[in-house]
């Protein structure tokens, strides 16, 4: 996707989406803002250089659960991992890298393997997740221990 500036020149492209005017997450077309998948001072420049941008509606961008919101860490990390996947697959497809080398090239440029970071985060969340049945079992054990303490 190429957006044109007022003089008709290219100023932003995206290898992540075909349309920067549609929210990448919810599909909204109103109030869509440009988001650099890798942000921060250096990350923003790299995101522009390597076309790692998406359109996000105000809610998905800066809302409570948006990538910059209070509860948006997982969404932000997933987007970074998706940016990395897009970049790696494009480099391989264009013959600029090999599957064996592309991940190392990403880390040399961006400093972080976001795919691994996202996978580790999801595994950590799964470890912390307790099913209702397990929670009930734990509570029963706690109540039994308290009953024995009171005897």
* 18-70 residue pLDDT tens: 999 999 999 999 999 999 999 998 999 999 999 999 999 999 999 999 999 99
Please tell me the pTM assigned to this model.
0.78
Residue 126 C-beta-side C-alpha neighbours within 13 Å:
6
Rounded Cα distance between 124 and 119, Å, is 9
Contact at 8 Å (CB) between 88 and 107? Answer: no
Please report the pLDDT score of residue 84 as a whole number.
Answer: 98
Rounded Cα distance between 104 and 110, Å, is 10
Q: Which long-range contacts (CB under 8 A, 24 or more apart) does 120-124 make?
A: 121/74, 121/77
Q: Which residues contact 12 (CB under 8 A, 6 or more apart)?
A: 2, 3, 20, 34, 48, 51, 53
């Amino acid at each position: 996707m190429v957006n044109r500036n007022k003089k008709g020149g290219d100023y932003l492209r995206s290898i992540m989406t075909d349309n920067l005017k549609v929210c990448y997450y919810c599909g909204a077309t109103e109030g869509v803002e440009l988001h650099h998948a890798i942000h921060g001072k250096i990350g923003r420049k790299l995101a522009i250089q390597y076309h790692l941008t998406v359109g996000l509606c105000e809610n998905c961008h800066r809302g409570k659960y948006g990538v910059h919101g209070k509860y948006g860490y997982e969404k932000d990390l997933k987007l970074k991992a998706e940016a990395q996947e897009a970049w790696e697959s494009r480099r391989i497809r264009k013959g600029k890298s090999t599957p064996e080398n592309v991940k190392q090239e990403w880390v040399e440029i961006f400093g972080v393997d976001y795919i691994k970071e996202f996978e580790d985060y999801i595994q950590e969340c799964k470890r912390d997740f307790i099913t209702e049945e397990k929670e009930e079992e734990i509570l029963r054990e706690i109540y039994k221990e308290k009953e024995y303490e009171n005897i």
